[in-house]
């Protein structure tokens, strides 16, 4: 009998799953959803976010603290890594959370034999491509700031840990994952929370993941990204920004095409900074 989408989602390939960045926007959105993917969901963040519920564990850890990260990873079978600085800003915190933090996470995964990671990368790895072009995962990185550079480092780091140690990673270049698109740019970049969960589920359950780069977007009519290099992941988005288009157009002005914010895929990130440390 054909399995329904919901039944497919409940395949528990991993006994214990670690979610970093659990106190953040996407961590909160995924907390309930990811319980379908595992028997025990270990939640982690640097900031406190409440008690563990049934089927959960809470381990607080600063990603920059190697010993804490080692404890956070011990005993899990797979990792969904969302923790870190999630916007452009001064280099110090980005270095600690996203660069040293990613290294600490992969070292801990190596030591504890964790073989699959879903890494929250970002569209800002390729933010200096133009909005008038469509790119694939084979296009070279063109980071649009320090944050995008740190995610490019995470992608290269995870490729090294795959080539050298066989740790499979999906680098999910998340577009804009919010309840609804907030502006015209997000009509192209939007990723619904349910599609984000579908995408992570696909990355966790596909038989052979390898080291894959996949753009995290819903089935939006207007898009700048081509996921044809990641068919083996098996992600099928079910949502689309198209239902928001009329309302977004009604409440936002047309883009100024002489403005870099409207020219480049990274939007406002391409003009952010420099920041005082
Ligand atoms: N939301 C989006 O549209 C989007 C787009 C592209 C990429 N991403 C990526 O997805 C992930 C989650 O995004 P979000 O929107 O939930 O961001 P968020 O800022 O809401 O959450 C990030 C979480 O990471 C935690 N964190 C920061 N520094 C840390 C450290 N040193 N140690 C441990 N935890 C630390 C924060 O406390 C926070 O709870 C991030 O890695 C972000 O870069 C998100």
Structural domain contains residue 277: no
Q: Is it the case that residue 257 has pLDDT exceeding 50?
A: yes
Please choose, from the candidates 156, 173, 177, the residue with its C-alpha nearest in 3D space to the C-alpha of residue 241.
177
Among 23, 24, 187, name the best residue to mutate to test ligand 1's pocket (greatest count of ligand atoms within 8 A of Cβ): 24
Measure the CA–CA gap between 132 and 43, rounded to whole angstroms: 39
In this structure, what CATH number is given to the domain that contains residue 34? 3.40.50.720
CA distances from 207 to 13, 232, 247 (A): 10, 9, 40
How confident is the model over 257-268, as a mean pLDDT?
98
Over residues 111-132, the mean pLDDT reads 98
165 in active site: no
Q: How many domains does the chain have?
A: 1
pLDDT of residue 11: 76
Counts of helices then strands in the chain (DSSP H, E): 10, 7
Pocket test for ligand 1, best of 62, 82, 272 (most atoms within 8 A of CB): 82
Beta bridge partners of 196: none
Taking residues 227-249, what's their average pLDDT?
A: 98
For residue range 173-211, list pLDDT tens digits in order.
Answer: 999 999 999 999 999 999 999 999 999 999 999 999 999
- Which atom of ligand 1 lies nearest, measured to the CA of 22? 39
Q: Do residues 127 and 269 make contact, with C-beta atoms less than 8 angstroms apart?
A: yes
Residue 10 falls inside a structural domain = yes
Cα 250 to middle of ligand 1, angstroms: 30
The verdict on residue 276 lying in a domain is no
In a domain, 241, yes or no: yes
Whether residue 181 lies inside any domain: the answer is yes
Confidence of residue 277 (pLDDT cuts 50, 70, 90): confident
pLDDT of residue 65: 99
User: What is the atom index within ligand 1 of the atom nearest the CA of 62?
Assistant: 32
Residue 211's SS3 state is: strand
Task: Report pTM.
Answer: 0.97
| CA nearest ligand 1 atom 35, residue | 84
If you measure from the C-alpha of residue 153 to the centroid of ligand 1, how many angstroms do you get, rounded to a whole number?
Answer: 16
Query: How many whole angstroms from 98 Cα to the centroid of ligand 1?
Result: 10
Q: Which of 147, 161, 235, 264 does the annotation list as catalytic? A: 147
Range of the domain at 188: 5-271
Task: Give percent above pLDDT 90 in the chain.
Answer: 95
- Is 70 inside a domain boundary? yes
29-80: per-residue pLDDT in tens?
999 999 999 999 999 999 999 999 999 999 999 999 999 999 999 999 999 9
């Amino acid at each position: 009998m054909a399995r329904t989408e919901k039944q497919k989602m409940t395949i528990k390939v991993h006994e214990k799953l670690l979610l970093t960045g659990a106190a953040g926007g996407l961590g909160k959105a995924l907390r309930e959803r990811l319980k379908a993917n595992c028997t025990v969901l270990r939640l982690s963040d640097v900031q406190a976010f409440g008690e563990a519920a049934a089927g959960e564990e809470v381990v607080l850890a600063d990603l920059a603290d190697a010993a804490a990260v080692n404890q956070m990873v011990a005993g899990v079978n797979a990792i969904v890594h969302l923790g870190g600085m999630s916007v452009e800003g001064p280099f110090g915190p980005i270095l600690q959370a996203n660069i040293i933090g990613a290294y600490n996470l992969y070292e801990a995964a190596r030591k504890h034999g964790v073989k699959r990671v879903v890494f929250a990368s970002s569209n800002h790895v390729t933010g200096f491509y133009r909005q008038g072009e469509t790119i694939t995962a084979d296009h070279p990185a063109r980071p649009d700031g320090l944050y995008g550079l740190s995610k490019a480092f995470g992608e290269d780091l995870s490729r090294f840990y795959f080539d050298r140690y066989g740790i499979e990673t999906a680098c999910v270049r998340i577009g804009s994952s919010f309840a609804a698109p907030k502006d015209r740019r997000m009509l192209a970049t939007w990723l619904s929370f349910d599609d984000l969960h579908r995408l992570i589920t696909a990355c966790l359950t596909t038989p052979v993941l390898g080291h894959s780069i996949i753009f995290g977007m819903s089935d939006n009519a207007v898009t700048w990204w081509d996921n044809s290099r990641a068919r083996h992941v098996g992600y099928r988005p079910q949502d689309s920004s198209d239902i928001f288009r009329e309302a977004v157009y009604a409440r936002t002005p047309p883009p100024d095409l002489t403005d870099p914010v409207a020219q480049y895929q990274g939007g406002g990130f391409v003009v952010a900074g420099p920041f005082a440390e």
